[in-house]
Amino acid sequence: MDFIGILRGVLGIIILLGIAFLFSSNKRNINWRTVGVGMAMQIFLAFLVLNPANFKWLNWPSQFFGWLAKKFVEILNFSGEGASFLFGDLVGRIDSFGYIFAFQVLPTIVFFSALSAVLYYFGILQFIVKGFAWLMRNLLDISGPESLAAAGNVFLGQTESPLLVKPYLKDMTESEILCLMCGGMATIAGGVFAAYVGYLGGVDEAAKILFAKHLLTASIMSAPAAIVAAKILLPENKDYKSNTSLDIPKDAIGSNLLDAISKGTTDGLKLAVNVGAMLLVFTALIAFVNNFILMKIGAVIPGGGDYNNLNDLIRTTTENNFSGFSLDYLFGLLFAPLAWLMGVASSDTMIVGQLLGQKTAINEFVAYATMGDLKESGKFASKKSIIIATYALCGFANFASIGIQIGGIGAIAPSQRKILAKYGFKALVGGTIACFLTATIAGIFY
């Protein structure tokens, strides 16, 4: 076993929990039992799925998640039939990421959104969510609405999951609201899950299954991690009597099955267009800013010695991993220490730091797209770094999500809008810590 890696991961966990403690609004009221059990749940799940000791008798959880990921990929592949009908031979082109994204990834978002609507219509999704919620309510000593929202976030988006607790929202405490927000920041929606599998797996079936397994594990692990972070950042008052109800609203997603499919398809189309538009705009903006600071700063400031400017110095010292003084390089410098604490190989810390910066400052779509390009071009020195980055990026924790949550959750609970705005930044901190905790634990066991 890699004891140095384990020690580094333990140090990373301590520092991340320490950051949460530093930002806590009420350190005296922290329920350390909830924190301890939440961390234990994460560690136990990572051990089961990753099985570092390779115990044969313990292979079944990893095999189950692998089977689940395989079935998920098989289902996603059915979207290719619809895409082929619409786009013909364009679907089969794999000579550029643009073709893969436009004609393979985006159609899966629409298809999976419709499929999720069908599962919700028949009550299957609610049944699974309620099972997860019951487990977390009883183990983590949190309220029923918090548990429902946290469980829903594993499968639904940060604005869809609150619909599971819509009747309770107006009466939820500030601590419960922050827990709801952190859960939305730390996990992903099913539709974008499909997109991430496409980003990272490309057209390789085995790679798709591998990343689907890790993404599924990451989203489930991050649910208790978000609760841990939220309950440190804003603990519940000691004398508060929590609502233990786990009743899910019976509002159907449509009046009948066809209506549910239509609504799911429409929602998926909106999401796909939004994803595509965000990637287009943010990729262009990053290129614009990078070009500006490369030409106006990096090309002017002398690097010293044999280097004509700062860009030359950076290119040489990073072995051409960075084009010069750019946003990517600055992100790398800022987040490289955290990447190292997660267990990323020393030679990959700048690259993973770049991805963590993109995810936080922009969004995870851009980060995963960049990661896919870096992976294909062989920039990563270690496979472990790729896996850790996969876990760390698996969440909606970015600045734009603050606005999304205030608008989305505030629309169904107007009385809580001030609370949502008040704790927007704290929710971002909590969601980010949760994702990084999940990545650190995965790094220990991988």
pTM score, two decimals?
0.82
Task: Tell me the C-alpha distance between 273 and 334, whole Å.
Answer: 31
The structural domain count of the chain equals 1
Per the structure, the complete domain to which residue 199 belongs is given by 25-283
Task: Tell me the C-alpha distance between 344 and 250, whole Å.
Answer: 45
Nearest CA to 31 out of 205, 191, 238, 182 is that of 238
In a domain, 320, yes or no: no
Q: Which one of 232-246, 288-302, 411-425 scores highest in mean pLDDT? A: 411-425
Q: Is the pLDDT of residue 184 over 70?
A: yes
Q: Are the C-beta atoms of residues 397 and 181 closer than 8 Å to each other?
A: no
Q: Look at residue 410 in the predicted model and tell me its pLDDT.
A: 85
Task: Tell me the C-alpha distance between 84 and 284, whole Å.
Answer: 29
In a domain, 318, yes or no: no
- pLDDT tens string 313-370: 888 877 777 778 888 788 888 899 999 999 999 999 999 998 998 888 878 888 888 8
Q: How many residues are present in the chain?
A: 446
> What average pLDDT does range 10-22 have in this prediction?
95
- 423 pLDDT band, cuts 50/70/90, is very high
- pLDDT tens string 139-164: 888 888 888 888 888 877 777 778 77
Give the DSSP letter string of 205-256: HHHHHHHHHHHHHHHHHHHHHHHHHHHHHSPPPTT-------PPP---SSSS
Q: Which residue has the higher pLDDT, 221 or 313?
A: 221
In a domain, 233, yes or no: yes
Nearest CA to 146 out of 137, 156, 158, 157 is that of 137
Tokens matching residue 127: 């049944």
Task: Tell me the C-alpha distance between 336 and 290, whole Å.
Answer: 19
> What average pLDDT does range 112-127 have in this prediction?
82
In a domain, 410, yes or no: no
Q: Look at residue 324 in the predicted model and tell me its pLDDT.
A: 81
In a domain, 199, yes or no: yes
In a domain, 424, yes or no: no
Cβ atoms < 10 Å from Cβ of 308: 11
Nearest CA to 51 out of 41, 63, 38, 62 is that of 62
Comparing 247-251, 324-328, 406-410, 417-421, the range with the smallest average pLDDT is 247-251
Amino acid letter, 215: L
In a domain, 110, yes or no: yes
Give the DSSP letter string of 177-194: HHHHHHHHHHS--HHHHH
